[in-house]
Amino acid sequence: MVLSALDFVLASKKREIIDLQQLLQMGQLVGAVSQLIHVLQRERGSSNIYLCSQGEIWGDQLSERALQVQLAEQAVNQHLIALDLSGHALNGHTVANASRLFSRIATVLHSLSTLPPLRQQIQTLNISQPDAMNHYSEVIRTHLALVFEAADTSGDPTVSRALLAMFSFMQGKELAGQERALGAAGFAGQYFDEHAHQQLLALIEGQERCFQTFTEFADPRALALWRQQIRADSSEFERFRRIACTCTTTNAEACDMALRWFDVTTVRIDAMKTVEDVLEGILMECCRQRIRDAEVSCALQQQEIGQMPQQDNHYAALIPPQLSRAILELVEQQSRQLQALDAELAGLRTTLAERKLVERAKGWLMQYQGMTEPQAHKTLRDMAMNQNKKLPQIAEAMLSVAEVLARKGI
C-alpha cells in the first residue's frame, strides 16, 4: 500500500473534526462540573450557618443540599462514562492529554468520596466551622483544577479563549463563595478579628483579579451580562462588606445579620451562575460552529478530490502537472487553515502553560502549607517581587522544590 498526499489531507481534516467533537464533549463535562461546584458551594454555605448557629438553624436544609450535590455528581458521572477509559469511545478516539485529565478526575472522585463522613461530622457538630469550610473548599479546588486541565486539551484558539474565560470566572465565583462563608461565620459570631479582615480583603482582591482575566478572554455577550450584574450589586452588599472588613464587633442581632448577609451574597453568587451558564452556552456554540465549518470544508475537499482524474497511486508514476497543482492547492489549503490557528494558539498556550504553573504552585502551598488561595497568591507574588522575577518563574522554582520534598516523603 502506498499512501498519497490526498489520503493525509483528508485524514488531517477528519481528525480536526474529531478533535473538535472531543472539545465539545469536554465542554459538556465542564458544564456539569460547573453545576456540581455551584451546589457544593451552597452546601458549604448551609453547613456553615448550621455550624455557626451550633445546630440551631438550617439543620433541615442539610439533607436537601447533600441530595442536590449527589444529583449533580450523577450528571458528572454520566459525562465521565462517555469519556471512555479504555480508549474505544466516540469514533474510537480518546481525548487529548488524557493521562493528565484522568489523574485530575481521580482526584475529584476521591475528594467527593470524603463528603459522606464530613456530612456526618457536621450533622453531629463534631467539626469546627473553619475545618468544615476548608474541607469543602479543598473539594471544590480539585474540581476547578479539572476544569483548568480540560482547557489544556484544546487545539483551537477560539475554544481555548472560551475555556480560559470560563475557568477564570469560575475561580472568581469560588472566591465569592469563600467570602460568603467567612462573612457568615463572622456575622454569626458577632466578631471579625484582624486575621479575618485580611482574609476578606484578600478574597475581594482575588475576585477582582479573576474577573479581570475573565474580561480579557470573554465573549462580548458574557461580558455585557457580567457588567450589567456588577452595576446591580446592591448597596446593602457593599455596606455589609465594609462592616465585615473594618469593624471588629457587629451590634445587630447576630443571627439576623448572618442570614441577611448570606441572602445578599447568595443573590450575587446565583447571578454569577447565570453568567457562567452563558459562558458555557457560548463555549458549546463555539465548538458546534467550528465543527460545522470543518465539516463543510471537509465536504468541499472530498468533492474536489472526486473531480480529479483517477491516477495510478504509485509514487514512481509521473503525475500530470495540472493534477499536481490541484493536489498542491488542497494540501496547502489545509496547511494554511491549521497554521492560521497555530499563530494565535502559540500565544494562548504560553499564557495557559504559565497560568497552569502558577495554579499548581498555589495548589501545593494550599495543600501542604495550609494556606488559603489568596495567601498562596500573595506568597508567590511577594517572592516574585522580592526576587525581581515573574510569577511563572517563581512557580516553576517552587514546584521543583515541592517535587524534591515529595520524593523525600516530607
Give SS3 for 191.
strand
Ranges within 138-197 binding a copy of itself (CB under 8 A): 155
* 391 makes contact with a copy of itself (CB under 8 A): no
Inter-residue contact 137 to 115 (CB < 8 Å): no
> Residue 409 to residues 111, 331, 360, 404, 405: CA-CA distances in angstroms?
21, 53, 19, 9, 6
Length in residues, the chain: 410
Question: Using the 8-state DSSP alphabet, how is residue 152 labeled?
Answer: T
Helices 115-123 and 129-151: crossing angle in degrees, nearest 10, is 160
| Residue from the set 208, 238, 270, 403 that interacts with a copy of itself by CB under 8 A | 403
Binding mask 310-329 for a copy of itself (x = CB under 8 A): -----xxxxx-x--x--xx-
User: Would you tell me how many other CB atoms lie within 10 Å of the CB of residue 256?
Assistant: 10
**Residue 25: exposed, middle, or buried by beta-carbon count in 10 A (0-12, 13-18, 19+)?**
buried
Question: Using the 8-state DSSP alphabet, how is residue 170 labeled?
Answer: H
Question: Closer to a copy of itself at the Cβ: 3 or 232?
Answer: 3
Place of cell 474541607: 135
* 340 makes contact with a copy of itself (CB under 8 A): yes
Nearest to 151 by CA among 398, 355, 395, 391: 355
Query: Which ranges of 114-156 would DSSP assign to H, the alpha helix?
Result: 115-123, 129-151
Piece in contact with a copy of itself (CB under 8 A), picked from 52-60, 106-114, 245-253, 272-280? 106-114
For Cα atoms 367, 373, 377, give the angle at the middle one, nearest 5 degrees: 110
| Residue from the set 193, 263, 332, 382 that interacts with a copy of itself by CB under 8 A | 332
Binding mask 61-100 for a copy of itself (x = CB under 8 A): ---------x--x---x--xx---xxxx--xxxx-xxxxx
Question: Closer to a copy of itself at the Cβ: 30 or 185?
Answer: 30
Piece in contact with a copy of itself (CB under 8 A), picked from 169-177, 208-216, 224-232, 346-354? 346-354
State the Rg of the chain over Cα. 25
* 126 makes contact with a copy of itself (CB under 8 A): no
Backbone angles phi, psi at 192, to 5 degrees: -125, 115
Question: Using the 8-state DSSP alphabet, how is residue 353 labeled?
Answer: H
* 339 makes contact with a copy of itself (CB under 8 A): yes
Place of cell 474529531: 18
- Total chain residues near a copy of itself (CB under 8 A): 85
* 230 makes contact with a copy of itself (CB under 8 A): no
* 45 makes contact with a copy of itself (CB under 8 A): no
| Residue from the set 172, 259, 392, 394 that interacts with a copy of itself by CB under 8 A | 392
* 384 makes contact with a copy of itself (CB under 8 A): no
Piece in contact with a copy of itself (CB under 8 A), picked from 10-18, 157-165, 186-194, 265-273? 10-18
* 300 makes contact with a copy of itself (CB under 8 A): no
* 12 makes contact with a copy of itself (CB under 8 A): yes
Q: How far is the CB of 132 from a copy of itself (least distance, A)?
A: 17
Residue 188: what residue type? A
Identify the bridge partners of residue 191 per DSSP, sorted by sequence position. Answer: 249
Question: Closer to a copy of itself at the Cβ: 103 or 369?
Answer: 103
* 334 makes contact with a copy of itself (CB under 8 A): yes
Question: Closer to a copy of itself at the Cβ: 374 or 392?
Answer: 392
* 295 makes contact with a copy of itself (CB under 8 A): no
* 270 makes contact with a copy of itself (CB under 8 A): no
